[in-house]
Chain A
């Protein structure tokens, strides 16, 4: 059968359905009490809970995913699980990000943020092979494992599990961090009116089924991820990668910042129609000489920030020209 995205969903407009656009001024820090009671805006504390949940794909298939929920406090369990996990919103003056991780999975997990300079204590299997790039939270940890980040800079970043990433990232343990350089400014001198964040990921149901049924591991039905055949292609957790984002003519004149985050394992190539965009940065590193492009190269784990003024005709953003 032809994969569902082209056969059944086929070209999907998303603008209103997904409400992906957030205005620049609305990008406030999460409402966690920590950041208000402690050193004002300088520190952002996020309570993330890793846990399994079930996602129903557009063809009706239920897939067990691993995702993150943002709780109001460790153990509060009042957040909603999703993959990608909640966007970690930092302010221009945020100097410290603290993530308190609760692990409700049945395996150890951890958290890393790509693109940041970090000292990381490795965790190994008894064989000596690396299990985790950094400290782990054991299943059902009763007190939070705290990850602190101080080398923060403006940009868009991928956060993800640092434990057995070849399995756990595929299962859904990924998300995005964004930090402006000032209110309404992506990088110094690059002001925007609208901020569109697009997180790409992929689902190979064979792995998800094997993990969910305890059939992944040495001697079991599935022993490695080498045969990777993703069937679902997600943008912000929804299976719409075959489509395009419609930048409506009503946005004409607005400066639209698009933050691309590839949490998948394959290279993607978003492409604009009817407009160019200024390539501002990759992995949160601003380019010295930004250039105008209409295509975006988005290798696995890469983030890319582009900026353009919406033309009178509006514009289209083909999610992936390599799809």
Chain B
């Protein structure tokens, strides 16, 4: 609450700008055409539902780290269908979420993504544009790639349309690419993946010697059932430097060269918040800015798909689960197959992920005694919430009987 007092000056500054700049303001808009082409591109039997519209809006906000530290962040939140667009800037200011709302699409959908910019409440001196970079999108063209040097990025109180036809299933990620080091460190990251058409096969369809049954899901169009799973858990690894965030909040020079991440996060939280189910409100204004827990829950015998990605700006992380080996079936949104079909999937006890890398991992829970297992970073000093021990990049894998 004293943060509100602390920032009341900034608040007034924003209001002043808003009042004086009123007539020149652009508006929040969205382009979301109807699906009238008569084609069923996503293969679900309905020719009128292939268009998917998403609307993300950039702003600032606050999150609490697991040790209680309140951290100033930049981030995205989602403008949901039916929201009044003329109210969106007001509603979503200070609405940044860690991570940003997850985007999950189906192969064959046609995605109209709108990115809007609500500006920063706490930093009214900044007029940063924003973008969304669909990290790994195949054959990207600059106009929808979000890379500020070679395309357009959206200014404050304005909106920019993006268009994608997700054709390659897999685990991607997204982030703002404007002043990338700063904006990603500040938290403009989110999860993004594409599910394959193979999920829609009629029950009884043979896939080699495997037979697809109703409701079975796959990570890829594998043709043999090898990537099937029961439970899907996206886990995005990240890390943050509180000094950098505090400097940003305090309008101080940003310590790029001294950047030293001390919070290690899965889906925007450190342990034990990772295993705390449901959204978490922040201690600044009560906004539910950390919506995604990362507790893995599966019944014994189920196959769990972990969609792992890393959007730290400073670190590699090696992830392991005590007692449960991993089967790696995909990397960087590609099934692990050679060009002639060679099966390159492999078993391991840990996966190292660099920033901007992703991996798809299957866990086989057959025969495990029900209980709680732990997924954690083997760079063990990252099992910290800064000065607090037994935290950081760790979460629970709960096997139910």
Contact = CB atoms under 8 A, between A and B. Distances in A.
Tell whether any CB of A sits under 8 Å from a CB of B in the complex: yes
Interface in B358-401: 367-369, 371-374, 378-392, 394, 396
Contacts of B368: 117, 119
Interface string B117-129: 0000000000000
Contacts of A167: 389
Contacts of B372: 122, 130
Interface in B339-358: 342-344, 346-350, 352
A112 B322 contact: yes
Interface in B250-282: 262, 271-272
Contacts of A223: 387-389
Interface in A224-244: 224-228
A285 B378 contact: no
A130 B374 contact: yes
B164 interface: no
Given A130-B374, A167-B389, A288-B343, A228 B381 contact: yes
A116 B262 CA distance: 31
B164 to A, nearest CB: 33
A169 B380 contact: yes
Contacts of B389: 164, 166-167, 217-218, 223-225
Nearest to B368: A119
Contact of A128 (B272, B323, B382): B272
A237 to B, nearest CB: 19
Contact of A289 (B342, B352, B386, B394): B342
A227 to B, nearest CB: 8
A191 B260 CA distance: 46
A115 B325 contact: yes
Interface string A109-122: 00010111111111
A109 to B, nearest CB: 15
A283 B348 contact: yes
B325 A117 contact: yes
A114 B320 contact: yes
A204 B148 CA distance: 42
A226 B322 contact: no
A129 interface: yes
Contacts of B383: 165-166, 225
Contact of B387 (A114, A164, A224): A224
A190 B347 CA distance: 19
Contact of A267 (B272, B316, B367, B396): B316
A59 B342 CA distance: 52
Contacts of B384: 166, 224-226
Contacts of A127: 272
Interface of A: 112, 114-122, 125, 127-131, 133-134, 162, 164-167, 169-170, 217-218, 223-228, 265-267, 282-285, 287-289, 297, 299-302
Given A112-B323, A129-B271, A223-B388, 17 more contacts: A114-B322, A119-B369, A119-B371, A133-B374, A134-B322, A162-B322, A165-B380, A165-B383, A166-B390, A170-B381, A265-B379, A282-B346, A283-B325, A284-B349, A288-B344, A299-B378, A301-B350
Interface of B: 262, 271-272, 316, 318, 320, 322-325, 342-344, 346-350, 352, 367-369, 371-374, 378-392, 394, 396
13 contacts: A119-B369, A121-B369, A122-B372, A133-B374, A164-B390, A166-B383, A224-B388, A227-B381, A285-B346, A299-B352, A301-B320, A301-B349, A302-B352
